Amino acid sequence: MHVTVLGAGVLGRVYGIRLAAAGDRVTFVVRAERVAEASPFILEQVNGARRRDELASPTRAARIPGDAGVVLVAVRFDQLAPGTPLLDVMKEAPLTAPIVVLTPMLPGPHAAVEQALGRKLTAAMPGAAGYLDDRDVVRYWLTALAPTLVDDPASSREAPALDALLLRLGKAGLPTHREPGVATLNAATTTAFYPLIAAIDAGGGIDRLLADPDLFATTIAAARESAALGQQIGKVASWAHLLTRFVGPYTLKPAVKLARSLAPEALRYADTHFGPKLHAQHLAMGEAILALGRERGHAMPALEKLLDKIKSEPRA
């Protein structure tokens, strides 16, 4: 199966390299100036099997190959806005090749991308999380409690390729389930969880966030606002619902202290992945959530304050 992965960041590498290791042909679509790069892609699983995979010579391209069987989209939220160059690339996907979006999406932006492309997308929620360390190695986690979820095919002509993808992901050791309604689940979960990750960017790291009383209080209030809006949209993933339900001024700090003792790399992942790297995504996603709140008559003053803080702290 020829899988085309849009984006060669953490998620793109996890899915692309694991599929390649299982015998699939994989092409990574990257920016034109990066096509000539020859560096290998390396994965190290932190938990479970703790396996290590290396793709010595990744196939890089600037366009989607004409024989692509499926397209996995693993880029930032802000890179999928109408008018961005990536959408022109996505228009080249064969009509029989499902466009499976691992990027977290919200209803308005999702519909706007579909309108720009003139076709439906297949929503998915990734079951992997990781970060790029200072060796240019992706360190990542997989858990059976949160498998990759893939929505029903966008059209009947895409169904065979999507069924094949699910089988291939299973063979690659990436637990994947078909889950009707993933688009709504993803939007609700993303909305509910957003303040907790965006605040890391706003504070410049977890420790600085916890040390700033005003920002910390704003984050807790914004998390409650967003959790309520997420539940208006639809079902929130159980893991996110649990976190947002019990997060508070007397629980978050002890939880971080415990994590620092038991799982220090998880905090390093949070600081690395959700800090400056995703600054542009945090801005775009925050605006989209506020717009969604206005549409539904849901006041979100704390989230507005948090977003203003993110805007006032430009990142490299």
What mean pLDDT value characterizes the chain? 91
**d(Cα 167, Cα 176) in Å, to the nearest integer?**
8
- Residues 210, 280 share a domain: yes
Whether the model pTM is above 0.75: yes
Residue at token pair 């993808």: 165
Res. 300: pLDDT tops 90: yes
Task: Write the secondary structure of 147-203 as one string of H (helix), E (strand) and C (coil).
Answer: CEEECCCCCHHHHHHHHHHHHHHHHCCCCEEECCCHHHHHHHHHHHHHHHHHHHHHH
Domain final residue, candidates 180, 205, 227:
180
- Residues 100, 6 share a domain: yes
Which domain covers residue 28, as residue numbers?
2-180
Partners of 142 in the beta sheet? 128
Domain final residue, candidates 180, 204, 231:
180
- Residues 171, 23 share a domain: yes
> Which CATH number fits the domain that encloses residue 174?
3.40.50.720
Q: How many domains does the chain have?
A: 2
* Helix residue ranges per DSSP H, the chain: 10-21, 85-90, 107-117, 159-171, 182-203, 206-211, 213-233, 238-246, 252-262, 264-274, 279-295, 301-311
- Summarize pLDDT for 154-167 with one digit per residue, the tens: 999 999 999 999 99
- More confident position, 255 or 104: 104
Give the β-pairing of 138-142 and 41-45: parallel
- Residues 153, 7 share a domain: yes
Domain final residue, candidates 180, 201, 223:
180
Q: What is the DSSP letter of 106?
A: -
- Residues 290, 202 share a domain: yes
- Summarize pLDDT for 86-100 with one digit per residue, the tens: 999 999 999 999 999
- Residues 261, 200 share a domain: yes
Residue 293 domain-assigned (yes or no): yes
Residue 316 domain-assigned (yes or no): no
Please provide residue 44's backbone torsions phi and psi, each rounded to the nearest 5 degrees: -135, 120
- Residues 191, 273 share a domain: yes
